[in-house]
Amino acid sequence: MQNPAISEHTEALTIDAVAHCTEFASARARQAGFAAARVDEVELVVEEVVANICHYSYGDRLGNVELACRLIHGSMLELEFVDAGQPFDMLSMPEPDLAVDIDRRGLGGVGVPMMRALVDRASYRRDGERNVLCLAFQSACRLGGSSQVA
């Protein structure tokens, strides 16, 4: 019999949302039995997503970021990020060309490929005035392999 879904929720203002949400998700991943390397991968993604929400959705203005964690099917960690900023779909951001000369690269652009490399399932929807991004992580590490998000 499958374990019932366990759901927990946190929220933070953008000024400390990255650290707060990362710690929250990291603790849930550890509770779910994820190996330390996979917990790091979850943290990398959460840090990236929340930093992008703060920057793109809220335009670096003060806002609220909610994060709900659910353990589904006993082993998959599902993270749902909700914010009330302007419409922002991180999943539709264009893949940057990172294979160019350093002079033609920007300072960032790593976040989207990192998320795609580390997440097992991803979806976005605009729900009224809110952005809802849902990411799911299997317990198996993704780094070191060539798998990509479905």
Distance CA 52, CA 113 (A): 13
Contact call for residue 149 and another protein (CB under 8 A):
no
Q: Give the CA angle between residues 80, 84, 90 to the nearest 5°.
A: 55
Contact call for residue 13 and another protein (CB under 8 A):
no
Q: How many CA atoms lie within 13 A of 27 on its CB side?
A: 11
State the DSSP code for 21.
Answer: H
How many residues line the site for another protein (CB under 8 A)?
A: 26
Smaller CB separation from another protein, 22 or 131: 22
Contact call for residue 43 and another protein (CB under 8 A):
yes
Q: Based on C-alpha coordinates, what's the Rg of the chain?
A: 15
**From candidates 62, 102, 127, 150, binder to another protein by CB under 8 A:** 102
**From candidates 6, 72, 117, 132, binder to another protein by CB under 8 A:** 117
Distance CA 30, CA 49 (A): 19
Contact call for residue 37 and another protein (CB under 8 A):
yes
Distance CA 26, CA 18 (A): 12
**From candidates 2, 62, 94, 99, binder to another protein by CB under 8 A:** 99
Residues near another protein (CB under 8 A):
18-19, 22, 37, 40, 43-44, 47-48, 51, 98-99, 101-103, 105, 107-111, 113-114, 117, 143-144
